[in-house]
Structure 1
Amino acid sequence: MTEAPHYQLSDFDYDLPEELIAQTPLKDRSSSRLLVLNALTGAYEDKHFYDIIDYLNPGDALVMNNSRVLPARLHGIRPTTGGHAEVLLLRQDHDDVWEVLVKPAKKSPVGSTIVFGDDPENPVMTGTIVKELEHGGRYIEFSYQGIFMERLEELGEMPLPPYIKEKLDDQERYQTVYSKVDGSAAAPTAGLHWTPELLQKVADKGVELVELTLHVGLGTFRPVDEENIEDHKMHSEFYQLSEEAAEKLNKVRANGGRVVATGTTSIRTLETIGTKFHGDLKADSGWTDIFIKPGYDWQVVDAFITNFHLPKSTLVMLVAAFTGRDNILNAYKHAVADKYRFFSFGDAMFVHK
């Protein structure tokens, strides 16, 4: 185990002009820019995402998070007053009961109802507040006809991150092309750069494509408030790795191939399981609150694709745990100077050793 440096929150800050925060996705997913960073030397190259194929070797495994973003923002009416209510789904508790955030919360006591659909007299779905939570959240129980996910697709909006102000014309641009398991409140955005054609080229090169699932929670946007980062409590997210995926990855590792993760969600899943099983990978599922920061002892991941992350975020700390703080901040300084696009709809990095 590497001795952890005693970093403070301010050690992971950097200057980012607001105009570099990408507000809309590029027309062609794979034409994003790609900053290739050598984690050992700190050397970097300016490329495009479609060049990623040059950095993946036959026998490697490319790991992708197949979680799909729920259209989790619902607009409803309070039938007693006719007032507007906004409901944001956080996670399913059981059956038709969900943990949610409601605006305005003070007008949503236990027992109150919200109706959804164009006709409040004949709603598509009704939600009843069944419990209040300490942090202002609520449990809501939905009633509806048919299949819940179909009603949600009909009524819901994509919950874009708070720093994106533009309206998204095509909802699928906030989904990866391989998304299939409903459950995320935010996209695993490093995967937004992949196209089916580019993935096929990667597979044709002899790279094993492996999927896992981690449902991204809105806690991913929660700022770190503690100056001593050791005091930060990570949010929990549900993950799953199948028997088939574990077998593929173990075979790749046994043959000397690299495990290349697409995004911090894939990293968190792989490292959670690797830590749990002392460096091995096995089929597993559960909740993870792993906090990867400088000093972390890496178990599984050999290289990864990631977007550019918010200043002072746990995601910058995760990347710094692989590259060292100075290397990643120097790379970010170059990206700012060279006007890379940042955050969810922005450009990408490939980080390797």
Structure 2
Amino acid sequence: MKTKDFYFDLPQHLIAQTPLEDRSQSRLMHLNRETGDLTHEKFKDITQYLKKGDCLVLNNTKVIPARLFGVKDTGASVEFLLLKRLSDTRWETLVKPGKKARIGAEFSFGDGKMSCKVVGIGDEGTRIIEFAFEGIFEEILDELGTMPLPPYITETLEDAKRYNTVYAKHDGSAAAPTAGLHFTEDLLEDLRLKGVEVAFVTLHVGLGTFRPVKVDDVNSHKMHSEFYELSADNAALINRVKKSGGRVISVGTTTTRTLETIADNSGQLEAKNGWTDIFIYPGYEFKCIDGLITNFHLPESTLIMLVSALMTREQILNAYRVAVEESYRFFSFGDAMLIL
């Protein structure tokens, strides 16, 4: 299977630059897994497709202000993007320009409020850095850092909270689990009142999910690892729903990757945490999920490959062709698809 098999023509103007004022007013394309039929709705109408006894699974990771601007002792400005926390003070980062961040180089942030030293080189040129500071790291980061919006979003985000879900809880992501951005507190409450169970996983989203596939053969692509966690209570809830014949609907590719990493061959889950680099593409046999809520992704990305595994590549590319024709908004702040 070739990377170019997942190409489609995406006009630049369809990549959403700003979120809608009302999260739940985004558009929703429903793709029926059995018939392949397409329907067009508003996201708030998703309640008509979910029923009592189903389980909606959400990723409650929280995006941190992971972009930092530091100054080298030479006066040069350098940008850091925190990717993965390795210890209380040590992080894997992307540094621009990387040539200024050789091992041993030191940088300061916020007029000396925090400093760091490059202590190693990671995969694909990332830098391992050790921070030095007084106080609580998260509080300093809130003061000095900014939200790490993807490079294809060029407009300023007026409200940083809009790049987090309403249920975001656990700090650690460099990017949002964007399928969940459509949910409001009211919409989640409506689903609960209908009898839909709501469960949570945590997967701290790194840039590996969004990195372009640079190989011609899909099988040769290697995903970066990301930290995940599933509690005993949430595992038990999802297992109970599956045992009783309910459907498990995953919100986003990150949630899907977490569930499919943990599930055994019968689809059962257990409390677990660790690192996953699972890469899901057509031919994969899903063990846990029955449906998926996801945004519209970029051509030739690992994300569209995962979505294609739930139907067929041809059905997904046809749905994307329709989405382009109907001017759906794509990617992080864009519209949504329900495959169920």
- Aligned with 1:135 (options 119, 124, 129): 124
Match of 2:71 among 55, 71, 77: 77
In the alignment, structure 1 residue 17 sits paired with structure 2 residue 11: yes
Amino acid at match of 2:142: E
CA-based RMSD of the aligned residues comes to 1.1
Could you say which residue in structure 2 is the equivalent of 1:163?
Answer: 152
Shift of 1:279: 2.5
Deviates more, 1:141-150 or 1:99-108: 99-108
On the 8 A contact 2:210/2:302 being kept in 1, the answer is: no
Gapped runs of 5+ residues in structure 2?
A: none
Once the 2 structures are TM-superposed, how far is the Cα of residue 112 of structure 1 from its aligned partner?
2.1
Does the CA-based 8 Å contact 1:72-1:88 persist in structure 2? yes
Verify the 8 A CA contact 1:40 1:323 in the aligned structure 2: no
Q: 8 Å contact 1:36–1:44 — kept in the other structure?
A: yes
When the two structures are aligned, how many residues end up with a matched partner?
340
For 1:1-353, list aligned pairs within 5 A: 7-78=1-72, 80-117=73-110, 120=111, 123-133=112-122, 135-275=124-264, 278-352=266-340
Contact persistence 1:159–1:185 (CA under 8 A): yes
Q: CA–CA distance in 2 between the matches of 1:109 and 1:283?
A: 40
Q: 1:51-100: CA deviations, max 9, x gaps?
A: 0111110011110000001111001211x222211111111112201111
Rounded to whole Å, the distance in 2 between the matches of 1:169 and 1:134 is 33
1:15-66, CA deviations, whole angstroms, 9 ceiling, x for partnerless residues? 1100000001001000000000012322100000000111110011110000
Hey, which bits of structure 1, 4+ residues long, moved more than 4 A?
none
| Rounded Cα–Cα distance in structure 1 between residues aligned with 2:173 and 2:75 | 30
CA deviation after TM superposition for structure 1 residue 194, in Å: 0.3
Give the letter aligned to residue 326 of structure 2: D
TM-score (norm 1): 0.94
In structure 2, distance between residues paired with 1:232 and 1:129? 28
Secondary structure of the 2:124 match is coil
1:95-136 Cα offsets, whole Å, 9 max, x none, are: 20111122222122222211111xx3xx21111222234632
For residues 300-328 of structure 1, give each alpha carbon's deviation from its aligned partner in whole angstroms, at most 9, with x where no partner exists: 10011000011011111111111111111
Q: Displacement of 1:295 after TM fit? A: 1.1
C-alpha deviation, 1:278, in angstroms: 4.6
Query: Is the partner of 2:323 in helix, strand or coil?
Result: helix
Q: Supply the distance in 2 between the matched residues of 1:315 and 1:101 (Cα, whole angstroms).
A: 21
Q: Secondary structure at the match of 2:190?
A: helix
Match of 1:340, as an amino acid?
Y
How far residue 155 of structure 1 moved from its aligned partner, in angstroms, is 0.6
Report the Cα distance in structure 2 between the residues aligned to 1:349 and 1:133, rounded to whole angstroms.
35
User: Helix, strand or coil for the counterpart of 1:47?
Assistant: strand
Distance 2:287 2:103 in 1: 46
- Between the aligned partners of 1:133 and 1:38, the Cα distance in structure 2 is 42
Deviations 1:157-192 (A, max 9, x none): 111111111111111100000001011110000000
Code of the residue aligned with 1:149 in structure 2: it is E
**Aligned to 2:222, what secondary structure does the other structure show?**
coil
Q: Distance in 1 between matches of 2:309 and 2:186?
A: 32
Q: CA contact under 8 A between 2:58 and 2:180: conserved in structure 1? A: yes
Q: Give me the identity figure in percent.
A: 56
SS of the residue 1:50 aligns to = helix
Instruction: For 1:279 and 1:203, locate their aligned partners in 2 and report how far apart those are by CA, in whole Å.
Output: 23
Give me the whole-angstrom Cα distance separating, in 1, the residues matched to 2:123 and 2:229: 29
Q: Is the 8 A contact 1:130 1:140 kept in 2?
A: yes
Q: CA deviation at 1:290?
A: 1.1
State the SS of the aligned residue for 1:94: coil
